[in-house]
Chain A
Amino acid sequence: MALPQIKQDATEARLAALDLPSGNWSEAARKDAVSRLRAMGLPHARDEYWKFTRPDTLVQPDAPKAAVLEADETPVFGDVDCLRLVFVDGVFSVEESDDLALEHVSLDRLGDALDIHWAKDVYGVLEARGQTPVHRPLATLNTAFATDGLLIHVTGKAPKPINLVYRHESEGSDAILHHVVKIESGAELTLLENGPAAARFNKCMEVEIADGGVFHHVRAQGRDHERRAATALFTRLGEASVFKSFTLTANGVLTRNECVIELTGDNATAHVAGACMGDGDFHHDDTVFITHDALNCESRQVFKKVLRNGATGVFQGKILVKEGAQKTDGYQISQSLLLDDDSQFLAKPELEIYADDVVCSHGSTSGAIDEEGLFYLRSRGIEEGPATDLLTIAFLAEAVMEIADESLQEKINERVEAWLTRRRG
């Protein structure tokens, strides 16, 4: 089917503003991505999965400007012992980063990697698999035009987490980063990400997890009010492997976080969770697609959004259980806490099940602060403001507790508390 003219024009306009990096192992994947992108077109407001989130500012050739927030607190994972790798407006900073060396891990920059590289089997591959049945054109654009990123090959238990720090320094920066992670059989990595990255950030991460591999992912997306981000995480899980991802989003005028998970080995576990806090001009979209294609796998989606002063939250989550994926245990919850009448939460939970011996549950709620709880706290002498904050932290807790490491939970909770305190003035 031919692409509508309006889509074709928008896609060509965007392509015209970009240069295709060439000359290394990724070239074939990039060229393939360009042709796939031309066939599907960039997102348009009429697309089924873009009805709740306007894609125009993510698609237009130039990034809308975003003011840079003066740093007034230490980075969220600043005192965690990790290998720290820094990107400034989407460019890897050799000076500010630790050496690319960590036991049981090989690390390369996307552009530096040699011609024959393990990442060839993953780069653009998981992204392409994740295009069915729903197109994710911004990720395809990313595969084609990513200017930087890391290739992380984990062959054993990494001795400490890798922390990717994304700094935003230029008002008009437009960053396209693509990371590839491969967790070998029995290997384990914790990846931490924080920071706003750029005025407009397109990030794609592909994570291949072999049998028995473990991948923990915790990110905080930064507080810059005007920044925009479209991120996509594609993962494929082997037998008895574990994938756990958590995202905290505070502020940001527009965020679209997509997560596409394929459970292809038996007894695998995938948890994806998010907590977001929006005040005023804030639009946050979590779009998740989980495919169960093996026996006895477990998946959990836990998304919580606190919204006030006209903020908007979106959740589109789907669990697809393929024929034969028996004993699947799927859980999905999306909830919003609306602190006023102006804010809104739009949710589209979906289940599609072709196996007969599965347990899948889903729920979605929108509500105000719990009056009973508020009175209880106030009757103990806690003022209404701090009492509301405590209940807000309580509301987000189910998502935050999805983080396996308690000290990282603590880091995230500190950010939540700081955000709430700033808002009370």
Chain B
Amino acid sequence: MLEIKNLHVKLEEEDKQILKGVNLSVEAGKVHAIMGPNGSGKSTLSYVLSGRDGYEVTGGSATIEGEDILEMEPEERAAAGVFLAFQYPVEIPGVGNMTFLRTAVNSQRKARGQEEMSSTEFLKLIREKAKDLKIDADMLKRPVNVGFSGGEKKRNEILQMAMLEPKMCILDETDSGLDVDAMKLVADGVNALRNEGRGFLVITHYQRLLDHIKPDVVHIMSDGRIIKTGGPELALEVEHNGYADIKAEVA
């Protein structure tokens, strides 16, 4: 599904290399987790994959189902199936959540040459999905993320994911700022979306999210590279011993 080969990325504005040769392959139907200390390049990886400005790819490639995504505009990547659940979802005052979602769904359908969804069809679908995530009608009507609590913002991200049905979901520290109950609700939403055709890349500092979203593969990232890859037990090892041991072991 997602194939990253020897990816090198620096900041556009300054001469600072962030990713120094990332290799990663996420198969359809699998959940991969990336863990790593602050500043290791995890969030940069998520931004580079989704097409945020400010980064320069200096080498390597990233493809979704064989299609190079690095040259695409952010909206083209979205239409190709990339979805990033933001660590800090952006507030957009004045734009209703529902309007935003319908515009997004129909933009993607249009880009893929599909017919736009009718408003009745859309309403039915969003009500159904929102209910699972305990998102009420008021939250759907309110401006995007404005006045939402931390948990509401993250649930709103998952609602977007559910509506847009991406092929490759990237979750950037979705657990940050969530209490245990909120995290469980978000994790249930993610788990409901797991299927044969969809890949997940879950970026997190802590093992606790991975108690709820069980990964197939765990990668440890440090200083712009993936330094160790293993099964779910690797996350537990980090939980007990911290990153220092792994870094020492690899060095």
- Tell me the total A-B contact number using a CB cutoff of 8 A: 83
B73 touches A384 (CB 8 A): yes
B75 touches A382 (CB 8 A): yes
A375-B52, A375-B53 as given contacts; A381 in contact with B92, CB under 8 Å: no
Q: B102 → chain A, closest Cβ, in Å?
A: 10
A378-B75, A379-B50, A386-B107 as given contacts; A397 in contact with B93, CB under 8 Å: yes
A395 vs B53: C-alpha distance when bound (angstroms): 22
A381 touches B79 (CB 8 A): yes
The residue in B75, B79, B111 that gathers the most chain A C-beta atoms within 10 A of its C-beta is B75
B160 within 8 A of A: yes
A380 vs B84: C-alpha distance when bound (angstroms): 8
Which residue of B50, B93, B107 is within 8 Å of A394 (Cβ)? B93
B73 touches A378 (CB 8 A): yes
A67 within 8 A of B: no
Q: A335 → chain B, closest Cβ, in Å?
A: 12
A384 vs B76: C-alpha distance when bound (angstroms): 11
A372 within 8 A of B: yes
A381 touches B93 (CB 8 A): no
A393 touches B95 (CB 8 A): yes
A383 vs B108: C-alpha distance when bound (angstroms): 9
Question: Chain B contacts of A395 at CB under 8 A?
Answer: 94
A398 touches B93 (CB 8 A): yes
A125 within 8 A of B: no
B192 within 8 A of A: no
A379-B74, A379-B78 as given contacts; A398 in contact with B103, CB under 8 Å: no
A379 touches B53 (CB 8 A): no
B95 touches A394 (CB 8 A): yes
Question: Chain A contacts of B202 at CB under 8 A?
Answer: none
A373 vs B86: C-alpha distance when bound (angstroms): 12
Which residue of B79, B89, B111 is within 8 Å of A376 (Cβ)? B89
A390 touches B95 (CB 8 A): yes
Q: Which of B31-82 contact A (CB under 8 A)?
A: 50-53, 73-75, 77-79
The residue in A377, A386, A393, A395 that gathers the most chain B C-beta atoms within 10 A of its C-beta is A377
A8 vs B52: C-alpha distance when bound (angstroms): 60
Which residue of B51, B74, B90 is within 8 Å of A372 (Cβ)? B90
Question: Chain A contacts of B160 at CB under 8 A?
Answer: 380
B224 within 8 A of A: no
A170 vs B69: C-alpha distance when bound (angstroms): 56
Which residue of A384, A393, A397 is within 8 Å of B75 (Cβ)? A384
A391 vs B89: C-alpha distance when bound (angstroms): 15
B103 touches A386 (CB 8 A): yes
B238 within 8 A of A: no
Q: A114 → chain B, closest Cβ, in Å?
A: 48
Which residue of B51, B83, B107, B143 is within 8 Å of A382 (Cβ)? B107
Which residue of A371, A379, A382 is within 8 Å of B84 (Cβ)? A379
Question: Chain A contacts of B75 at CB under 8 A?
Answer: 378-384, 387
A396 within 8 A of B: yes
A394-B143, A395-B94 as given contacts; A380 in contact with B104, CB under 8 Å: yes
Question: Chain A contacts of B93 at CB under 8 A?
Answer: 394, 397-398
A313 vs B78: C-alpha distance when bound (angstroms): 36
Question: Chain B contacts of A373 at CB under 8 A?
Answer: 90, 92
Q: A306 → chain B, closest Cβ, in Å?
A: 12
Question: Chain B contacts of A379 at CB under 8 A?
Answer: 50-52, 74-75, 77-78, 83-84
Question: Chain B contacts of A397 at CB under 8 A?
Answer: 93-95, 143
Which residue of A375, A376, A383, A396 is within 8 Å of B94 (Cβ)? A396
B103 touches A394 (CB 8 A): no
Nearest A residue to B103 by beta-carbon distance?
A382
Nearest B residue to A380 by beta-carbon distance?
B104
Question: Chain A contacts of B84 at CB under 8 A?
Answer: 379
The residue in A379, A386, A390, A395 that gathers the most chain B C-beta atoms within 10 A of its C-beta is A379
A396 vs B143: C-alpha distance when bound (angstroms): 13
Q: A303 → chain B, closest Cβ, in Å?
A: 15
A372 vs B160: C-alpha distance when bound (angstroms): 17
Nearest B residue to A382 by beta-carbon distance?
B107
Nearest B residue to A378 by beta-carbon distance?
B74
Nearest B residue to A392 by beta-carbon distance?
B94
Question: Chain A contacts of B53 at CB under 8 A?
Answer: 371, 375
A216 vs B144: C-alpha distance when bound (angstroms): 29
B103 touches A390 (CB 8 A): yes
Which residue of A377, A398, A400 is within 8 Å of B100 (Cβ)? A377
Q: Which of A358-416 contact B (CB under 8 A)?
A: 371-373, 375-384, 386-387, 390-391, 393-398, 400-401
17 A-B pairs with CB atoms under 8 Å apart are: A372-B90, A376-B89, A377-B104, A378-B73, A378-B74, A378-B78, A379-B52, A379-B84, A380-B78, A380-B100, A390-B92, A391-B95, A393-B94, A393-B95, A394-B143, A395-B94, A400-B94
| 4 residue pairs, one from A and one from B, having the closest CB atoms | A397-B94, A394-B94, A381-B78, A381-B108
New contact pairs (14) apart from A372-B90, A375-B74, A381-B79, CB-CB < 8 Å: A376-B90, A377-B92, A379-B78, A380-B100, A380-B104, A381-B108, A381-B111, A382-B103, A390-B103, A391-B95, A394-B143, A397-B94, A397-B95, A398-B94
